[in-house]
Amino acid sequence: METPDVSFVSFGDANGNRQDLFRFIKQVNPCLNEVTANRNLNLSYIHILEKQNRNLTQLCADVVKKVIGCGKSISSFSDEEKDALKFLEQLRYVESDESGAVRITVPLFDAAADAVIGEISSYLMEIIKNEVADEFSNLKGRMRGSTSVLHGIDEKEIANELWHQVFGNINEYLVREGLFPVPEHRIDEGRYFQALYVR
């Protein structure tokens, strides 16, 4: 989930329901599809709620920037911002201590870090792009007996899922090699890391 200036991200496995901003919002809306027998009423409400969720995301981004700006005390936030802080605390992006000080609890990446990430990504993509293109070409032909092909799943969807599987395997390898920490397993949520990107 993102705004023009803050992205709320997570990466990990799919063994549960992650409690991050994106997934929380995406899980709430489908629950409302059948809330009444009047489907049009439900969809109208969901449409309005989606707009409110964009407003909530922007409010959360503004609160994050305020916390980053000068490590604010809870008392310096408006009532609306305090509500957003409670929400972000439940999602484990922030926490407050007994003195009322608020701090970010996840890795925070700014423009300088984004530039380094871009450089590393470009370097690695240059190394692997030809091999990846070769391996991912003609997937339907190479996987003709797989259930995804037999069920008519689009080749781009298959490639997207395979890329995530490969990426996950690379991450598991890097964890085993000790380059990255093992993601904490959270009961009913799976293993994942959260981060904030601030532009």
Predicted pLDDT at 155: 82
Same domain, 14 and 102: yes
> What string of pLDDT tens digits covers the 199 residues of the chain?
789 999 998 877 767 788 889 888 888 878 888 889 999 999 999 999 999 999 999 999 999 999 998 767 888 999 999 999 999 999 999 999 989 899 999 999 998 998 898 999 999 999 988 888 888 787 777 788 888 888 888 888 888 888 888 888 888 888 889 888 887 788 888 888 889 999 8
Same domain, 102 and 144: no
Domain that holds residue 53: 6-108
Same domain, 129 and 145: yes
Same domain, 30 and 51: yes
Same domain, 23 and 101: yes
Same domain, 179 and 96: no
Tell me the C-alpha distance between 138 and 8, whole Å: 35
Boundary-marking domain end, from 62, 91, 108 = 108
Same domain, 131 and 182: yes
Boundary-marking domain end, from 60, 77, 108 = 108
Whether residue 1 lies inside any domain: the answer is no
Same domain, 116 and 99: no
